[in-house]
Amino acid sequence: MEGSTFIYFLTASVLLTLAPGPDILYLLTKSLSDGAKAGIILACGLVSGIVFHTTLVMVGVAAFIKSSSTAMLLLKIFGAAYLLFLAFGAFKSAWAGKKISLARSGSKVAAKALYKRGVLMNVLNPKVLLFFLAFLPQFVDLSSDGASFRILFLGVVFAVQALIIFSGVAMFAGRVRRLILSKKNIGQLLGFIEAAVLALIALTLILF
């Protein structure tokens, strides 16, 4: 791959990652709600989902899923159902006033669950799959030898830069959280906002 092509790819990747979207919106909300550590763990899960989708593009499974209306519908249904399940859990916890920050609890079980949440949010989102199916091949000569591995390489590069940006967003939100944490009932409010964001993402997944 030519150096100029790689620079174009990296620039486009950074701009796309910074653009307002479900991933960065939920990451920001979660970091404000539970702190920077929780946001970074969630970011690791989200970018793992990116690598998963890249692998599907590389081996041709993504193209098959795109061509199957049944597979696309099932992915939408499962993805939306999972997000609504998370939204209900966040709403229930906020209503009961049981919002516990992962950063304070330090629970390895909670961290693992949050990482899995990030992975599943991307794996069950067909829009992410379609995006990488359309985006990555633009920077690769598909007729050349090793085209599949170049796609995988670009997917990993995209994931790495996304992790760096997501981590920065999480740390920034964590700083803001410390400034507003003294406000009365702010933790409960952030819990309700988290639930609303998850429900909104589920709605957009179903309708668009």
Percent pLDDT > 70 in the chain is: 91
Cα-only R_g, the chain: 18
Tokens of 73: 């519908």
Task: Find, among 157, 174, 136, the residue nearest to 40 by Cα.
Answer: 174
Instruction: Provide the mean pLDDT of the chain.
Output: 87
Check residue 80 and give its pLDDT.
Answer: 93
Counting Cβ atoms within 10 Å, is residue 137 exposed (0-12), middle (13-18) or buried (19+)?
middle
**What average pLDDT does range 182-207 have in this prediction?**
82
Count of C-beta atoms within a 10 Å radius of residue 175? 12
Q: Write down the pLDDT at residue 179.
A: 80
Span 125-146, mean pLDDT? 89
Q: How many Å apart are CA 49 and CA 94, to the nearest integer?
A: 27
The pTM for the full model equals: 0.85
Task: With a cut of 90, say whether residue 89 has pLDDT above it.
Answer: no
